[in-house]
Amino acid sequence: MPIYEYRCDNCGHELEHLQKVTDPVLVDCPACEQPTLKKQVSAAGFRLKGGGWYETDFKKSGDKKRNLLEGSDKPAEAGKEGKGVKDKPLKDAA
């Protein structure tokens, strides 16, 4: 369930409330008891873990290592590359 932030237009009281998305919006301020609460827009706080994200797979290697060390539970696998086609000299078409 998300935590929503509310602010009272009457007294300026701010509060956070844990509620379902389908729950009705709070209206009454607990401080001044007036029906002047407004839901605030705020940034969500979450972190995407695992592979397949920009931070883990597509950033420059120096930034990727730093970000993995800061927020990952597992150590980064360094030096592990997939088996690809080895360079072979091209035959002359002439």
Say if 50 falls within a structural domain.
yes
- Do 8 and 31 belong together in one domain? yes
The percent helix, strand, coil of the chain (3-state, each to 5) is: 15, 15, 70
* 83 within some domain: no
- 58 shares a domain with 33: no
Q: Tell me the per-residue pLDDT of 18-35, one tens digit each, with 9 for 90 and over.
A: 999 999 999 999 999 999
Is residue 26 domain-shared with residue 7, that is, in the same domain? yes
Stated pTM of the model: 0.49
If DSSP codes are grouped into helix, strand and coil, which group holds residue 65?
helix
For residue 20, give every residue at least 6 positions away whose Cβ sits within 8 Å of its Cβ, in sequence order, or none: 1
- Domain with 21, as residue range(s), is 3-39
Domain membership of residue 77 (yes or no) is no
pLDDT at residue 82 greater than cutoff 70: no
Whether residue 35 lies inside any domain: the answer is yes
Nearest to 61 by CA among 79, 49, 46: 79
pLDDT of residue 42: 84
Residue 79 has pLDDT above 70, yes or no: no
- 87: in domain: no
How does pLDDT run across 46-55, given as a tens digit for each residue? 777 777 777 6
Q: Are residues 50 and 66 in the same domain?
A: yes
Q: Is 90 helix (H, G, I), strand (E, B) or coil?
A: coil
Q: What is the Cα Rg of the chain in Å?
A: 26
What is the count of structural domains for the chain?
2
In a domain, 19, yes or no: yes
